[in-house]
Structure 1
Amino acid sequence: MSQVWYFNDKISLHVFFTEDGRMKRANFLETWRSLPDSNEITRDFPGIVVSNVEATLDRLPASNTFFIAKRKHANQDVFYFSVKIPRGIPFLIELTTVVNNPGVKIAIKTPSPETAPLFFEAMETLLKD
C-alpha cells in the first residue's frame, strides 16, 4: 500500500500578475468608469509607510504592477496602478498615502471583486518589501 501525502501552501496572488497589465491612462479611466461602484473595494493598511516614492515606483514593475499616474489631493499623494491576472482580469488601483507617514489606503476596481482579499494580501506583501 502506498502512502498519500497532502500539503497546503500559500502563494501570493502577485506571482500571477501578468506582463500585459500595463494600461494607457485613457483606457484606465474608461475601464474605471465602466465598472459598477459595487466592484470598488477599499482597504486601509495602517502599518505601511511609503518613504521613498521613486524606489517604490521602480520596484513595482518587477512584479507586473504598472504605474499610470499620480496626483496631489490636499496633503496626500494619490497613485494609480494597473495589474492583470490570467484570463485578462484587470485590477485598477488607487493608492493614497502621505509620504513618510504610516498609513496607506488602497481602493481597487475589478470585474472580479471576489478576489479582492487575495489581491490586498499581495499588495501588502509588495509594499512592505
Structure 2
Amino acid sequence: MGGGLGDLFDLGGGVGMAMGAYIPPKTVWLPAMKAKGLEISGTFARRAGVIQMELTLTNKAMSVMTDFAIQFNRNSFGLAPAGPLQVLTPLNPNQTIEVSLPLSTVGPVMKMEPLNNLQVAVKNNIDVFYFSCQYPVSMLFVEDGKMERQVFLATWKDIPNENESQFQIKDCHLNSDAASNKLQASNIFTIAKRTVESQDMLYMSIRLSNSIWVLAELRVQTGNPNYTISVKCRAPEVSQCVFQCYEAVLKN
C-alpha cells in the first residue's frame, strides 16, 4: 500500500449522477423438464436496503399449478425468505408470472462451497423441486458501509498481510470517478483517493450484512484498461466473491 497512506486527501466535489445498483440478468435456475413443467428463472436485487429474489415462474405443463411454497437450505450468510412465496392465483398452462420474494439475513448459517451458493426447494400441488443458484455477494453490501478514514487506516494495518488478495479487472474503460460512482450505487464506498503519476488509487470499504468489513484499494492507470484491486478482510474467503462483484458492477 506504500507509505503515503497518511496523506490521503478528501474526495473533492459532489458525487456524479446517482445510478442504480447492479442487478444481474435473470437466468434459468430450474428447467421445465426437471420440474414436471415448471420453469423458474431468477435473479437477486437489493432495493432500498431489502434483498429481493426476483423470480419468473412459467407453467409449461398441461395442468394448473397451485399451492406454491419455497424453502432455503442453510447457507453462508443466513439468507432466508422473509415471507411466503406470493403466488396468489393459480398458474395456468402456458402462463408466466413474476414474483418478488423479500429475503432476510437472519436464517441459519452453514458455510457453502462456493461461498455464495444457495440451495432452494420449491413446492407446488404437483411435487417438490430442488435447484441451486448463486447470488452476487453485493446483495449483502449494506448502506452504512462507509468507514471513517482513521478507522480505515488502522484496520488496514491491523489485518494481517496474508489476508490480502490481489486481482485484475481487465478491459475496463471507466475513469476513476465514474468507477467510484458506479461502485457506490452498489454500496462500495470510496473513502479516499490518491493520484501518483497518472495512477489513481481509490481506498474503499464495504460492510456485509453479517458485519464483516472488506477493505480494498483499486488502482486505475490513465490509458490502461486493466485495473488492479487489492482486497483485505478478516474473513479472506470472502475476497474472491467481492472481486467478482467489483468486476460485475464495473463491466455492466
TM-score by length of 1: 0.90
The aligned residue for residue 166 of structure 2 is 42
Match 1:12 to one of 136, 139, 144: 136
The aligned residue for residue 177 of structure 2 is 54
Query: Contact 2:201/2:218 (CA < 8 Å) preserved in 1?
Result: yes
Q: 2:191 aligned with 1:63, yes or no?
A: no
Q: Aligned partners of 2:183, 2:169: CA distance in 1, in Å?
A: 17
The CA deviation at 1:91 is 0.6
The CA deviation at 1:100 is 4.2
Question: Please, what is the CA RMSD of the aligned residues?
Answer: 1.7
**Runs of 5+ in structure 2 lacking a partner?**
1-125
Q: 2:22 aligned with 1:22, yes or no?
A: no
Query: Contact 1:49/1:104 (CA < 8 Å) preserved in 2?
Result: no
The aligned residue for residue 9 of structure 2 is none
The aligned residue for residue 96 of structure 1 is 219
The letter for the 2-side match of 1:9 is C
The CA deviation at 1:66 is 0.7
The CA deviation at 1:10 is 2.0
Match 1:111 to one of 222, 229, 234: 234
Q: Say how many residue pairs are matched.
A: 128
Bigger RCO (CA 8 Å, 6+ sep): 1
The letter for the 1-side match of 2:246 is M
Q: Aligned partners of 1:54, 1:19: CA distance in 2, in Å?
A: 20
The CA deviation at 1:4 is 2.4
**Runs of 5+ in structure 1 lacking a partner?**
none
Which has more helix, going by share of residues? Answer: 1
Worse overlay, 96-105 or 36-45: 96-105
Higher gyration radius (CA): 2
Aligned residues: percent identity?
Answer: 35
The CA deviation at 1:125 is 0.7
1:45-73 per-residue CA deviation (whole Å, 9 max, x = no partner) reads 222222x3333322322211111111123
Q: Aligned partners of 1:54, 1:96: CA distance in 2, in Å?
A: 12
Query: Contact 1:46/1:102 (CA < 8 Å) preserved in 2?
Result: yes
